[in-house]
């Protein structure tokens, strides 16, 4: 199959947009060229280009399509409309059964012609998150000014341009030309294939594969650091970003002025990362080292000495700014900043951060005894946990909220547990972030997230399928992870009620519980666990202890994996189906079973086994001995199998029928003590 290759060469593309743009290019062009059956599609992204290559058919062969029109008995206008739609005459249609039929011939088309027709529309409607116009009066937009379109099929240029009516499309037209590195290898040159493009650009100081640039950067900075006995702070996001900033990565190592090494390491790291895209390093003891790694986009003739000196000079200025904030912030005690929180808006409908920390203090104090924390320390930490929002350092680097609060709290002589809770209460911030484990930190972190959920649910700002602007799903998952990973035995309903009571706009507590339960199901699904079993366990009632719910879920899951569990589930479904049908007729059938009407041995045996196992099952569930409860349920399998083999439930005698339905209802109720088995999938 011929190779199709497309490159779109522009001014610098923001790093965060490159990967998605390459994916969109492959998807949209693949869809537009679907008649050519594109295969082996590969995408490329870099600072100044996105590109794709694919194998395609040589063209689309002529084909015939049968179009069915209106009925023969339809009004003449209907047939006339059908003919207009397909550009056909009355003589070209025929009768087939009750309908008019048009056999349409679709002419063949060469691949180059189809490509030339399809691509202008794709490029004009390319979905950049942000795009711009430049020069002239063309309405064509791109993320940055588009300079070249390279489009070849089997090495031959596919000619097209971006004109549309009177719009000249900036005069852009396809060719077989691209350009190398802006400074090291300027100028245009032709290419005849994707492989030749990659090879020629590599010779002209451009690494086109993003993964390869990433590897070169990682190995380069790691090697430079290792040569000095250092390690580089792991930062996958920064690595990805830098790989999107350079075409020819040249890793370098610079020194940090010793005068700034007493700054908090987090301040240094964030300042380097946010302002300069530098990598922080650690010494052999794991402490911040006086070196930073960075990546240049050129190979300097002096080995990079001038570039390193310039970056060291810039970093000194950045750290001087950080030093100013660090020194100025420590002249004001953290608790003296609480009044300033009254002037910081949390949300227009929910008041200030000052009002919020008052709620957090009350809530953290209530949670503290439940997680083994000192209520006074939890309340103190909650009152101070947002105070660093008023500091200069956090104003400059919002990423450091909480982190700076800890430093300033320790500087003011606060208890260590209080300071660490201020730092940790935001966690976990994401799926890979660690959860707070210290009791005071757990109390404040839970208070922070419970208040967030209750507050925004109270004003009707719930997440939707398309958005979650207040990160409520993340807050809910944070609550769940703190509970699960610390094994906390908490009843969520009263805690949510406490959070709601502190608000003027009251949320629906059951709504909040459902939201948390759904997040728990999502988490189990991501772990590959039986989230449908959790749904079944939740269906048994109002249990709001997540640890107990998960223990019961694990027990039911293990039971269903056994032969007894699988077969009992089948029998349960049979019983539930019979009851559902019959209860619609004359139900409910949940009264007591009459022993005198148990006519057959199999129904007597089932009733006897129920008498024997129901009390211990209920006791085991009450004592959270869920494995024992499942063993009790397993005892129901043989008599229930025998019942269905030998007993006709819908007996002609109405008394026997009702009694047998009550017996099945009793089986259903016994099993539903453990889980609502009707919600089990599969």
pLDDT at 682: 67
- Does the pLDDT at position 667 exceed 70? yes
pLDDT band, very low/low/confident/very high, at 92 (cuts 50, 70, 90): confident
Per the prediction, the chain carries an average pLDDT of 94
What is the C-alpha radius of gyration for the chain, rounded to an integer number of angstroms? 35
Tokens of 676: 């609502």
- DSSP secondary structure code for residue 294 in this structure: E
Q: Angle 451-454-460 (CA atoms, 0-180°, nearest 5)?
A: 135
In angstroms, the first-to-last Cα distance of the chain is: 44
Tokens 């990079």: give the residue: 304
Give me the residues paired with residue 236 across strands: none
Mean pLDDT of 642-660: 93
Tokens of 487: 């094994």
Backbone angles phi, psi at 321, to 5 degrees: -65, -45
pLDDT at 139: 93
The answer for residues whose C-beta is within 8 angstroms of residue 30's C-beta and 6 or more apart is 38, 41, 54
Among 288-292, 365-369, 547-551, the minimum mean pLDDT is found in 547-551
d(C-alpha 179, C-alpha 199), whole Å: 13
Fold that domain 558-679 belongs to in CATH: Isoleucyl-tRNA Synthetase; Domain 1 (1.10.730)
**Where are the extended beta strands (E) located within 270-350?**
279-282, 288-296, 345-347
Among 63-67, 123-127, 212-216, 350-354, the minimum mean pLDDT is found in 63-67
Mean pLDDT of 639-644: 93
pLDDT at 72: 87
**pLDDT tens, 330-347?**
999 999 999 999 999 999
Ranges of each domain in the chain = 3-59+111-203, 67-106, 210-329, 338-525, 558-679
Mean pLDDT of 665-678: 92
Chain length of the chain: 682
Contact indicator for 556, 536 with CB cutoff of 8 Å: yes
Q: What is the 3-state secondary structure (H, E, C) of 617-678?
A: HHHHHHCCCHHHHHHHHHCCHHHHHHHHHHCCCCCCCHHHHHHHHHHHHHHHHHHHCCCCHH
Mean pLDDT of 604-617: 95
Antiparallel, parallel or unpaired: β 174-175 and 146-153: parallel
From residue 202, alpha-carbon distances to 73, 198, 206, 207 in Å are 69, 6, 5, 6
**pLDDT tens, 461-510?**
999 887 899 999 999 999 999 999 999 999 999 999 999 999 999 999 99
**Number of C-beta neighbours around residue 310 at 10 A:** 11
pLDDT at 500: 97
Q: How many helices (H) and strands (E) does the chain have?
A: 25, 19
Share above pLDDT 70 across residues of the chain, in percent, rounded to a whole number: 100
**pLDDT tens, 385-409?**
999 999 999 999 999 999 999 999 9
Fold that domain 338-525 belongs to in CATH: Hypothetical protein af1432 (1.10.3210)
d(C-alpha 217, C-alpha 223), whole Å: 10
pLDDT band, very low/low/confident/very high, at 88 (cuts 50, 70, 90): confident
**pLDDT tens, 221-259?**
999 999 999 999 999 999 999 999 999 999 999 999 999
pTM for this predicted structure: 0.84
**pLDDT tens, 13-23?**
999 999 999 99
**pLDDT tens, 164-223?**
999 999 999 999 999 999 999 999 999 999 999 999 999 999 999 999 999 999 999 999
Question: How far from chain centre, in Å, is Cα 243?
Answer: 23
The answer for residues whose C-beta is within 8 angstroms of residue 320's C-beta and 6 or more apart is 260
Cα torsion through 340, 345, 351, 355, rounded to 10: -30
Contact indicator for 612, 668 with CB cutoff of 8 Å: no
pLDDT at 464: 87
The closest alpha carbon to 399, from 264, 522, 494, 211, belongs to: 264
């Amino acid at each position: 199959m011929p190779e199709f290759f497309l490159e779109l060469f522009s001014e610098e593309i923001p790093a965060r947009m490159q990967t998605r743009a390459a994916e969109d290019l492959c998807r949209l062009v693949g869809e537009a060229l679907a008649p050519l059956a594109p295969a082996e599609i590969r995408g490329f992204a870099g600072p100044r280009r996105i590109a794709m290559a694919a194998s395609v058919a040589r063209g689309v062969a002529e084909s015939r399509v049968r179009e069915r029109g209106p009925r023969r008995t339809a009004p003449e206008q209907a047939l006339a409309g059908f003919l207009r739609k397909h550009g056909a005459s009355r003589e070209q249609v025929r009768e087939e059964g009750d309908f008019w039929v048009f056999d349409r011939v679709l002419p063949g088309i060469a691949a180059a012609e189809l490509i030339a027709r399809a691509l202008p529309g794709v490029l004009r409607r390319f979905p950049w998150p942000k795009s711009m116009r430049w020069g002239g009066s063309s309405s064509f937009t791109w993320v940055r000014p588009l300079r070249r379109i390279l489009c070849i099929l089997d090495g031959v240029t596919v000619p097209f341009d971006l004109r549309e009516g009177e719009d000249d499309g900036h005069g852009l037209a396809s060719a077989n030309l691209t350009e190398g590195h802006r400074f090291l290898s300027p100028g245009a040159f032709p290419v005849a294939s994707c492989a030749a493009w990659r090879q020629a650009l590599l010779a002209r100081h451009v690494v086109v594969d993003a993964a390869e640039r990433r590897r070169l950067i990682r190995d380069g900075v790691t090697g430079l650091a290792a040569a000095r006995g250092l390690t580089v702070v792991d930062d996958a996001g920064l690595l990805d970003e830098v790989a999107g900033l350079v075409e020819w990565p040249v890793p370098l190592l610079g020194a940090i002025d010793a005068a700034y090494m007493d700054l908090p390491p987090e301040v240094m790291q964030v300042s380097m990362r946010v302002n300069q895209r530098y990598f922080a390093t650690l010494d052999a003891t794991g402490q911040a080292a006086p070196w930073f790694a960075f990546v240049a986009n050129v190979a300097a003739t002096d080995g990079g000495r001038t570039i390193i000196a310039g970056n060291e000079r810039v970093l000194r200025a950045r750290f001087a700014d950080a030093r100013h904030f660090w020194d100025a912030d420590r002249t004001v005690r953290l608790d003296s900043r609480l009044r300033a929180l009254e002037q910081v808006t949390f949300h227009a409908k929910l008041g200030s951060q000052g009002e919020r920390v008052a709620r957090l203090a009350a809530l953290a104090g209530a949670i503290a005894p439940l997680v083994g924390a000192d209520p006074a320390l939890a309340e103190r930490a909650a009152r101070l946990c947002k105070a660093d929002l008023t500091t200069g350092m956090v104003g400059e680097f919002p990423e450091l909220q909480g982190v700076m609060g800890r430093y300033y709290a320790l500087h003011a002589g606060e208890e260590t547990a209080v300071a660490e809770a201020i730092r940790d209460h935001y966690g976990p911030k994401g799926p890979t972030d660690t959860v707070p484990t210290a009791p005071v930190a757990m109390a404040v972190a839970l208070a922070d997230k419970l208040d967030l959920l209750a507050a925004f649910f109270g004003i009707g700002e719930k997440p939707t399928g398309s958005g979650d602007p207040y990160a409520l799903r993340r807050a809910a998952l944070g609550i769940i992870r703190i509970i699960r990973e610390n094994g906390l035995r908490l009843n969520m309903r009263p805690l949510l009620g406490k959070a709601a009571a502190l608000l003027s706009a009251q949320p629906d507590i059951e709504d909040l519980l459902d939201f948390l339960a759904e997040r728990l199901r999502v988490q189990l699904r991501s772990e590959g666990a039986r989230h449908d079993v959790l749904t079944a366990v939740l269906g048994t009632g109002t249990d709001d202890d997540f640890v107990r719910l998960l223990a019961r879920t694990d027990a039911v899951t293990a039971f269903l994996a056994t032969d007894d569990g699988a077969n009992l589930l089948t029998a349960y479904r049979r019983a539930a189906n019979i009851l559902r049908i019959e209860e619609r007729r004359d139900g409910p059938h949940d009264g007591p079973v009459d022993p005198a009407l148990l006519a057959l041995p199999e129904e007597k045996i089932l009733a006897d086994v129920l008498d024997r196992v129901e009390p211990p099952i209920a006791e085991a569930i009450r004592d959270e001995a869920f494995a024992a409860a499942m063993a009790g349920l397993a005892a129901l399998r043989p008599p229930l199998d025998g019942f269905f083999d030998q007993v006709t439930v819908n007996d002609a005698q109405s008394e026997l029928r009702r009694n047998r339905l009550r017996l099945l209802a009793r089986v259903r109720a016994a099993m539903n003590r453990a889980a609502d088995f009707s919600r089990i999938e599969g």
